[in-house]
Amino acid sequence: MKRNILITGGAGFIGSHVVRLFVNKYPDYHIVNLDKLTYAGNLANLKDIEDKPNYTFVKADIADLDEMRRVVREFKIDGIIHLAAESHVDRSIKDPFTFARTNVMGTLALLQAAKEYWETQPEKYGGKRFYHISTDEVYGALEMTHPTGIPAPFTTKASSGKNHEAYGEEFFVETTKYNPHSPYSASKASSDHFVRAYHDTYGMPTIVTNCSNNYGPYQFPEKLIPLFINNIRQRKPLPVYGKGENVRDWLFVEDHARAIDLIFHKGKISETYNIGGFNEWKNIDIIKVIIKTVDRLLGNPEGASLGLITYVTDRLGHDMRYAIDSRKLQRELGWEPSLQFEEGIERTVRWYLQNSEWMENITSGEYEKYYDEMYGK
């Protein structure tokens, strides 16, 4: 079947994996990647597919309503996968307005442009889809009732490689009440509400998914895992916020992209699906895995980089624990993570070490200035 699909934020981390998957898997689809190319957007992430005949890149700002109207009309878009966003919590603490503009106003502009165009079509919303990619952070923070860990109630391929632990009894489910704390999560929560409002008010065929922390190739090195891999390589300090005890639930980015593909095609309109791997890690434990893997792959003696760990002032309002219950997605659509966490980390570290040029290109100039301001180095 021929389709014209708009993917926003396709030059970013997760978006580039989604664009690559769709361009390669669906030669009959025309994939339009729309991205503003902020500091986080990088067309080098898509070098391998940029010449494919079913791929078009458009540089545009999602908050520009007229431009969104034009793009949706010009490319006769019938499906939207919306990933474009400001995505880094630390930046949102410094500059919340940019987050409100892109994440809230940008999502609203895209919804409105799609609504106006689709309502002029003879089949209206028939066969259309507006799929909004969101985060587990909108649910707030879970209690850390078991700081030393208890056996988790469920195991997936992602979590099968270690002594599988949970740090509390509670998990985020699709009906968990929204309770965002950071300006980032507040802006994502607001955009989720607008998406659902367009379904409930106008009948727009929407879907929302909320995913846990992603890791893998092409992630901008301001996020924990690529930042630490790069800093170990450069013998720079590894800034651990607070005591390093906060817990995140980690998923390999290609497993997220596979879930997005499945949900875009088979998910039920107006539904929400949580995406995660029951794979909780304390920051300090994941940092030790990264150090061990980087040192081994670089041929350093074991533990050589442990001394780079530097405890720094905690992030303001730092959420303690995120943990996703993704059993609805498993039950209804049969999705499961395909990769064990240790394998995913090994692949990720190898990729960053083998692609040091990619890293060096984006860590020069503007980013360096930001990093110096952020960490005072």
Stretch that binds ligand TYD, among 49-57, 188-196, 235-243, 346-354 (CB under 6 A): 235-243
Instruction: Give min distance, CB of 235 to ligand NAD, in A.
Output: 26
Q: What angle do CA 51, 69, 108 make, to 5 degrees?
A: 105
Give the nearer residue to ligand NAD in terms of CB position, either 12 or 180: 12
Give the nearer residue to ligand TYD in terms of CB position, either 214 or 272: 214
Instruction: Give min distance, CB of 14 to ligand NAD, in A.
Output: 4
Is 15 a binding residue for ligand NAD by CB under 6 A? The answer is yes
Is 17 a binding residue for ligand TYD by CB under 6 A? The answer is no
> d(Cα 239, Cα 362) in Å, to the nearest integer?
20
Q: Annotated active-site positions, please?
A: 136-137, 184
Q: Which of residues 70-99 bind ligand NAD (CB under 6 A)?
A: 83-87
For ligand NAD, what does the binding mask look like between residues 134 and 153, x meaning CB under 6 A?
-x------------------
> d(Cα 254, Cα 338) in Å, to the nearest integer?
9
Q: Which does 91 bind (CB under 5 to 8 A by kind): ligand NAD, ligand TYD, none?
A: none
Stretch that binds ligand NAD, among 23-31, 38-46, 235-243, 290-298 (CB under 6 A): 38-46
Is 283 a binding residue for ligand TYD by CB under 6 A? The answer is yes
Q: What angle do CA 106, 111, 116 make, to 5 degrees?
A: 125
Cβ within 8 Å of residue 190, ≥6 positions away: 100, 103, 104
Q: Which residue of 19, 111, 133, 345 would you call a contact of ligand NAD, by CB under 6 A?
A: 133
Instruction: Give min distance, CB of 216 to ligand NAD, in A.
Output: 10
> d(Cα 225, Cα 235) in Å, to the nearest integer?
15
Left (φ > 0), alpha (ψ -120 to 50) or beta: where does 304 sit?
alpha
Is 166 a binding residue for ligand NAD by CB under 6 A? The answer is no
> d(Cα 111, Cα 107) in Å, to the nearest integer?
6
Give the nearer residue to ligand TYD in terms of CB position, either 33 or 209: 209
Q: Which residue of 159, 191, 213, 293 would you call a contact of ligand TYD, by CB under 6 A?
A: 213
Q: Which residue of 35, 78, 255, 295 would you call a contact of ligand NAD, by CB under 6 A?
A: 35
Cβ within 8 Å of residue 297, ≥6 positions away: 349, 350, 353
350-358's contacts with Cβ under 8 Å and 24+ in sequence apart are: 350/297, 351/216, 351/217, 352/217, 352/226, 352/229, 352/230, 352/233, 353/229, 353/233, 353/294, 353/297, 353/298, 355/217, 356/233, 358/44, 358/218
Stretch that binds ligand NAD, among 60-68, 108-116, 192-200, 357-365 (CB under 6 A): 60-68
Instruction: Give min distance, CB of 15 to ligand NAD, in A.
Output: 5
Query: SS3 for 105-163, per residue?
Result: HHHHHHHHHHHHHHHCCCCCCCCCEEEEEEEHHHHCCECCCCCCCEECCCCCHHHCCCC
Instruction: Give min distance, CB of 208 to ligand NAD, in A.
Output: 11
Q: Which of 4, 11, 53 is nearest to 32 (CA)?
A: 4
Instruction: Give min distance, CB of 16 to ligand TYD, in A.
Output: 17
CB 167 within 8 A of CB 323: yes
Interface residue list for ligand NAD (CB under 6 A):
8-9, 11-15, 35-38, 40-41, 61-63, 83-87, 102, 106, 133, 135, 188, 211, 213-214, 220
Interface residue list for ligand TYD (CB under 6 A):
89, 213, 223-224, 227, 239-241, 246, 248, 283, 315
